[in-house]
Structure formats: C-alpha cells, structure tokens
Amino acid sequence: MGRSPTTKDDAQALFQSLRSAYAATPTNLKIIDLYVVFAVFTAVIQVVYMAVVGSFPFNSFLSGVLSCVGTAVLAVCLRIQVNKENKEFKDLPPERAFADFVLCNLVLHLVIMNFLG
Amino acid sequence: MRLIEQKWSGNCLLVSITKPSTSRIELETSPPSSPAIKFAMARKLGFTFLLLAVASICEAAAIFNPISESHKSAAIELFSPADGSFSSLEEAFEALRTFEILGIDTKPDLKDSTCKSVVDILSSESSNSKDLYHALRVSSLLKCKINKEALTGVTSRLQGSVKDAKSLLDFYYSIGGLTLIKDQTSEVDVLLDDADGIFQSIKALSQSDGRWRYSSNNPDSSTYAAGVALETLSGIITLTSSELDGNLIEALKKDVVKLFENIDKYDDGANFFNDQHQGPVSATSSVVHGLTTFASASGTLNIPGDKILGLARFFLGIGIHGNSKDLYHQVDALACLDQNRALVPLILSLPASVLSFTSQDKLKVRVTTVLGSTSTTPPLSVKLMQVFTSGSKDASIINQELRFDPKEEVHTLDAFPAGVDVGKYIFAFEIVLSDPEHKKIYATGGRTKVPVYVTGAIKIDNAKIEILESDSVESQNKLDLSGKNDVALSANHLQKLRLSFQLTTPLQNPFNPHQALLKLRHESGVEHIFVVGNSREHFKITLDFLGLVEKLFYLSGKYDIELTVGDAAMENSFSQAHGHIDLDLPEVPEKATRPPPQAVDPYSRFGPMPEISHIFRPQETRPSQQLSYAFLGLVFVPFLAFLVGLSRLGANMKNFPTSTAPATFAILFHGGIAAVLVLYILLWLKLDLFTTLKTLGVLGMFLLFVGHRALSHLASTSSKV
C-alpha cells in the first residue's frame, strides 16, 4: 500500500490531536509516565547489551531487566490509582497509592537483589 | 607360547611349559583319536597330565644316591656353634657324631672346651643320669681324659639309678652310660647284678604290636620308645657276666619282627616308622639304632632284606634336612646301617641317568653302601634284567651283565640293548653277589628300577609349507627347520595353508614329541596356536582359512609363522619364526566377535600410573571492558533524560512540608527508604539473606511508622486544599 499525501496528512493530524489531548494530562501523571519511559528504556538498553555480548551471567541480566520492567509495571499501577479520571479508585487517596508503590518496590528489589548473585 | 623349558632336575625330568593367557590352541584336521586331541585335553588340564605322567615314573623308579658332599656342607652349616662352644652336651654329641661319620675335622679348641664341660659334669655330684649319659657319649667321641676315681663314682651312681629306675628313659640313660664306660675303660667294673630282672622290667613295657611304652603308668605306646628299649636291652646283654635267659632274647626278636610288620611304606620302596610325638625321621632313626645295636649284641635277626633296604632308601630319599636334629638322626641311622651285623644294604646308583645318543654316553652303575663307600662292598656283578618303555608295561627281558671296571669301581653297559632309542625308559637292574653266603650279610633288594633318559638329535626331513587352492598347490616353499627361514606367503580366505615335516630318531624310528605347535601371530599381537597332528613320523597341518575366519577375528594382514617342536628327549628342540603370511580375509560382519584384549606386560603394573587430567568448566567469554563501560554509560542516558524531562515538566518540591515535625518525618521517611536500598546493596555485596531480613524487619517497622506520619500529613494538607 503506497503512501499518499492524504494518509501522511491524516497521520500528522492524528499526532496533533494526540499531543493536544496529552497536554491536558496533570503534571503528576506526566512525571509517572516519564518515569515509566525511563524504566522501559533502561530495560531495552540491557536487552541490547545482552544481544551484543551474550546472556552470561544470565541471572544478572534477568534481575536487571525484571527490575526495570517490574518498576515500570508498578509505576503504571500507581498511575492508574492516582488518575482522577478513574472513578473506581476515587475513594483511594494518592498518598495511600504511593505507600503501596514504595512497599511493592521494596519487596520487588529484595527479590531482585537476592537473585542478582 | 614361549619356548619349552627343559630341565634335568636331579633324577626326575621336569618339563614346564609357560603359556600366555591369551594364546589359543585350535585343532584342525586332526582325527579324533590323534595324539593332538590328547594333547589339547592335557593342555586344558594345565598340562597336569603330562607332569603327573613324568612324576609317576619318578615315583615308581627312583634313584637313591649315597651320602654326598652336600650333606657335608649342610652339616658344617647346621652344626657349627655360633659362639665357639656348644650350648649343651646333647647338641655337642649330635654335632660331633655327624662330623665323625661324614669325615669332617673338629677344631682342637672346640674339643678342649667340650672336654672341659664333660669333666665338670662327670665330677659334679648333682648331675643326673641323663647329664652323665650325654657327657659319657661326648667323651666316647672325643676321648677326653677322665680319671679313674671320677669314672668309678659315676659308675656306682649309674648302677644305683638303674635299680631305682621307673621309666624307660631312666633305664636308657643309666644303662647307656654304663655301656659307654665299659667301652672306654676296662678298669672299672660296670657289670649289672640282676640283669635278668632289669631286662624283664623293661620288657614288661612292650606292647603286643612291637612298640613300647615310656613307663608303666603311661598308656601311650611309641615306635621311638621301641628303638630306645632295643638299645637299652642290648646294653643289658653286654653288661652281664653270664648269659641271659635265651627265651627272653627270643621273645625280643619276635617283638622286632612284629614291629617290622607295622612298617609304613612309600611308593618308591622306602620304609619308615611313624610316631605320634616324634617325627618319622627320629622315630625311624631310633629303631634303626636300636636294631643294629641289638643285632651286634645278640646276633642275626630274621628281618627281610627289602625292609632294611627300604629303611636305607628312606634316609637317602629324604634329602638334606634344614634341621640339625633331623640331619643327625638321618646321618646316624645311615652310619648304623652302613656297618651292622643284621644286614648291610647295598645301594645301586647311577652317576648320570641322562644319556645322550649324540655323544655316545655309556650307562654306568655304581654299587655302594649307604655312606657311599665301595671298599666294604663284597665282590658282585650287576645285571640289566629288563628295560621298560615309559608309559607301557611291556618290557623286553635282557639279562645282560655289566662290565666291571675295578679302577673306577663302576659297572658299565657298553652298548644299549637293542630297541633303546631316544626316549624315557625304566631299567631294571639286579645285584648278583658272587658268594651266595653273602646274602645273609648284604641286602640287595632284588630288582632295582631306575629311570633312564636317552636323548638324541631328531632328524627333520621333508619340511615344506604350501598354499593350496582347491587342493592344487598354488605355491610351495621348502623349509630348513633347523636353520633360518624367511618365507613370505600370501593367501586369501578361499585358500589353505599346509605345513608338513617328518621326524625320525637316530635309529630311524618315528618320533612323537611332546609338542608340535604352529603359531600364527597377527601384527596386533593376537596369537593363534594350532596343534600339528601326526600319523607316525609324518607331521601335517592344513589350515583352511574359510573355516577359520571367525577364529581369526576377520583380521587381515601380516601373520608371523612360528613353529615349535619340543621334547625333553629331543636335543635339537626348537621354537622359531619361519617368516610370515599375508592373509586377505573378508570384511568384518556386524556380529563378529572382537579379538580379545592383549595381555598386559606384567612389569608394567609397577610402572607409573596414567596421569589423571581434571576437566574444568571453560572460562566464559567475557566482553571487552570498553563495551561494558559504554553500556554502563548508556544506562545513565535514560536517567538523564528522565531528569531533563522532569525539569521540562516543571516538577518541584513545593509540597514538601515546611513545619518542623512533618518535615522531620518526611526526611526520615526518605532516609528510611535510602537505608533499605543500602541494605539491599549490602545483601548483594556481602550479607546473607537471614541477616538482611532481620535488619529489614527493624527498618521496615521504622519506615512504616515514619511513612505513615509523613503521608498522612500530606493527605491532610491535600484534603484541606
């Protein structure tokens, strides 16, 4: 399927609308998003390193990547709970959500550190 | 199979065959009744059949050589006192008596020191009859100077102890001592008063089978005691002034005859007496000593000559003992037999029992007394009566008298009897005394069977090795089996190998050796041994390789050919290589048996063991340090991007509490999280999980508290807004 000027314009229009919609997002959610992106990119760099060098020592690789992925997942969970748009977490204060996030991270990293070798 | 070892050992032929364990003997083209089958069976029994056959010849006919130089050297070695003097007079007597019989000189200083202890014992009041007896015995050999007073005192003490004697040995020592005094001096009166009474009290200890008891309260009877009693009773006969009661002596003679009825016998004609407590050597020696003493005291005895000869054979047949006591008993008994008044055994011996056809050896026979003396033998002639071929009972009767050579004192057989060829024979000789009256004095023992081995060079003819293809000769090589050959043959599995030769003795008789073996040895060391079968003088083996491929393990290649023809009587036995054959055998099928592993050199087990190499996991390939550092830097890029993003988004710390108490809790909360993370790094670097969890518990409680305070403060402020 060839690219026509119309589809290019459509795509540009789509990105424009996405950016304008995202600009309305509260700053604390943007910080969390940025944190998730940071974690995912760190994981990607480790995967690339593994692809270049080899999987030895495999447990260290796994703990590094899982640490990043786990953190990202927990951050996403935090974002869901903190988002005011989500009605089901309306009664949950964001401080409580942050406390959960910290606790889960501490438990996750205990396991990660133990597995690191 | 290594070369057959031939050894002429003493009078017996020993053939020992050494065989590596992996050798295999296969029978090929031999009719079931051929000697090859017999040979293979014998091989299975570890050649015991063959050795037993040889051993049985040795037993049936053995040569008894008279006392030799080796007895002398053994006596010098066994009896020489370690510190210059004998430990006891009994030992001194045994040594001196053995030396005297064998003609060995005693050192004068040894004589002096021994005589000194003899005089000490004889003049001592406390010495008992046993000590006195041994002292007098030594003195009789050394002719020690003992004054008359001492001898008179000893005599009266011995006569006293004869009267008090209870046991046989008491009588023996006292009467023996008195006899010795009588032999040494005529100045002292040693005669016994009540000879008949003493004789009867000793005779009362005799048993119905001719043996004796040591004392009346000891029920055990002994052959050794019988000898002691005979000697004691002979002593009494010599110590009486008047004649003893004739009936007593006749009864004693009957006892001797009964004793000889219970004599033990070996297969080779040797006779001996056994005893429960003493060994057969000392028991037999004791009887011989007693018997000869009794014979010299009382005259002729009615004992069969072959038994006396059997006793002589026993003492000559036991060889040389490593025990001084046994050597003394052996030599003493032989000396008693050498000159006695009962019967003197004459020993027929052969200087050499192995005679060579090649060097025209002559059979020589020597007739001596047991001690090897020819001066006391009576005029006699030796006749060869029969010749037995080994393994068969047939004998040719010859009755040929041997020529006597007075200078060398040997009887020589000038020419072998007709029919004596290379092989093993048993010659039966008979000693014929010139004066028939001498038969009462000398024991010749009838026919003496002696094993004789005749060796010679065996002629090998018509030796050839052929390769056959469907019974037509493909190639033929003549072999010179006595010389060197280097044939080079080649054959495939459809062909046959045939080896044939003829063996004839110097008298043109067919010769059948112990071993006629063909060995094929493959390059890899696998050996195959085949027995060469024979029909009379013609030896032939045909190897059909088609039937042998399995046995040869389908191993193609070069095989060394080795032929062994060996026999104890064959002077030119050989075992040598005659070249090689290249075999072209079919491919190995799947299920074929593998060749057995080759025997390891036995000496290699003492060599160094094979080195053990440990296998470690190979080192993982590590990336270059630059690459790792580059990626370490790369990991920080998203973090930097995160920080930049934060600043772009306008993140701030406005919500951080400003009042003292909430700020402290907030700082403590963050410090607590940092502490937990530091703890995790410590877990990674050095701590174990248990210490970490304990510390984490404490930190967790603290964190829970401060976290709750800090976050609830935040929550309260946010809800106010």
Nearest 10 degrees: Cα torsion B680, B682, B683, B686: 170
- Token look-up 């003829």 returns B502
Q: Which of B277-286, B335-344, B560-569, B596-605 has the lowest mean pLDDT?
A: B596-605
Higher pLDDT, B5 or B547: B547
Instruction: Tell me which residue of B362, B390, B366, B393 sits closest to B380, measured CA to CA.
Output: B366
Is residue B544 within 8 Å of B40, Cβ to Cβ?
Answer: no
Residue B161 exposed, middle or buried by CB count within 10 Å (0-12, 13-18, 19+): buried
Check pLDDT > 60 for residue B33: no
- Token look-up 């090795």 returns B465
CB contact under 8 A, A53 and B623: yes
Predicted model pTM: 0.60
- pLDDT bin (cut points 50, 70, 90) of residue B20 is very low
Q: Which of A40-49, B216-225, B360-369, B604-613 has the lowest mean pLDDT?
A: B604-613
CB contact under 8 A, B646 and A110: no
Quickly list DSSP for A18-53: HHHHHHTS-HHHHHHHHHHHHHHHHHHHHHHHHHHH
Check pLDDT > 90 for residue B190: no
Residue B189: how many CB atoms within 10 A of its CB? 12
Please give the average per-residue pLDDT across B635-654, as a whole number: 89
Chain B 655-684, CB below 8 Å of chain A: which residues?
673, 676-677, 680-681, 683-684
Is residue A46 within 8 Å of B635, Cβ to Cβ?
Answer: yes
Max mean pLDDT among A42-46, B234-238, B289-293, B396-400 falls in: A42-46
- pLDDT bin (cut points 50, 70, 90) of residue B7 is very low
When CB atoms are compared, the residue of B638, B683, B692 closest to A41 is B638
Residue A92: how many CB atoms within 10 A of its CB? 13
Please give the average per-residue pLDDT across B687-711, as a whole number: 93
Return d(Cα A85, Cα A79) in angstroms, integer.
11
Higher pLDDT, A81 or B47: A81
Looking at chain A, the number of H-run helices and the number of E-run strands are 4, 0
CB contact under 8 A, A114 and B683: yes
**How confident is the model over B192-215, as pLDDT tens digits?**
878 888 888 888 888 888 888 888
Sequence-distant (≥ 6) Cβ neighbours of residue B11 within 8 angstroms:
B58, B62, B63, B353, B451
- pLDDT bin (cut points 50, 70, 90) of residue B35 is very low
Q: Closest Cα of chain A to B656: distance in Å? A: 13
Q: What is the pLDDT of residue B127?
A: 81
CB contact under 8 A, A38 and B639: yes
Instruction: Tell me which residue of B518, B663, B668 sits closest to B24, measured CA to CA.
Output: B518
Check pLDDT > 80 for residue B14: no
* B633 close to A (CB below 8 A): no
Check pLDDT > 60 for residue B224: yes
Q: Closest Cα of chain B to A43: distance in Å? A: 9
Check pLDDT > 60 for residue B50: no
- pLDDT bin (cut points 50, 70, 90) of residue B10 is very low
- pLDDT bin (cut points 50, 70, 90) of residue B391 is low
- pLDDT bin (cut points 50, 70, 90) of residue B15 is very low
- Amino acid in the structure at residue B580: H
Q: What is the pLDDT of residue B519?
A: 92
H-assigned helices in B529-659: 545-548, 625-649
Check pLDDT > 50 for residue B16: no
Cα dihedral across residues B192, B196, B197, B202: positive or negative: positive
Instruction: Tell me which residue of B544, B475, B391 sits closest to B54, measured CA to CA.
Output: B391
Q: What is the pLDDT of residue A4?
A: 60
Per DSSP, the three-state class of B706 is helix
Return d(Cα B630, Cα B185) in angstroms, integer.
127
Distance of CA B334 to the CA centre of its chain: 28
Return d(Cα B56, Cα B708) in angstroms, integer.
113
- pLDDT bin (cut points 50, 70, 90) of residue B61 is low
Max mean pLDDT among A43-47, B265-269, B276-280 falls in: A43-47
- What mean pLDDT, rounded, does chain B reach? 82
User: ∠ at Cα A44 (A43, A47), nearest 5°?
Assistant: 90
A39: chain B residues, CB-CB within 8 Å: 638
* B618 close to A (CB below 8 A): no
Q: Closest Cα of chain A to B648: distance in Å? A: 10
- pLDDT bin (cut points 50, 70, 90) of residue B600 is low
Instruction: Tell me which residue of B171, B172, B135 sits closest to B153, measured CA to CA.
Output: B135
DSSP, res B543: E
Q: What is the pLDDT of residue B30?
A: 36
CB contact under 8 A, A54 and B621: yes
Per DSSP, the three-state class of B502 is strand
- pLDDT bin (cut points 50, 70, 90) of residue B18 is very low
Check pLDDT > 50 for residue B654: yes
Ramachandran area for residue B503 (φ above 0: left; ψ -120 to 50: alpha; else beta): beta
To test the contact with chain B by mutation, choose from A22, A28, A37, A49 the residue with the greatest count of B C-beta atoms within 10 A, namely A49
Q: What is the pLDDT of residue B45?
A: 43
Please give the average per-residue pLDDT across B102-116, as a whole number: 83
ipTM of the complex: 0.89
Q: Closest Cα of chain A to B521: distance in Å? A: 57
**How confident is the model over B502-537, as pLDDT tens digits?**
988 888 888 888 889 999 998 888 888 999 988 877
Q: What is the pLDDT of residue B43?
A: 45
For A111, nearest residue in chain B (alpha carbons): B680
Q: What is the pLDDT of residue B241?
A: 75
Q: What is the pLDDT of residue B605?
A: 72
Return d(Cα A73, Cα B366) in angstroms, integer.
121
Return d(Cα B441, Cα B435) in angstroms, integer.
11
Q: How many CB pairs under 8 A join A and B?
A: 82
A35: chain B residues, CB-CB within 8 Å: 642
Please give the average per-residue pLDDT across B153-179, as a whole number: 88
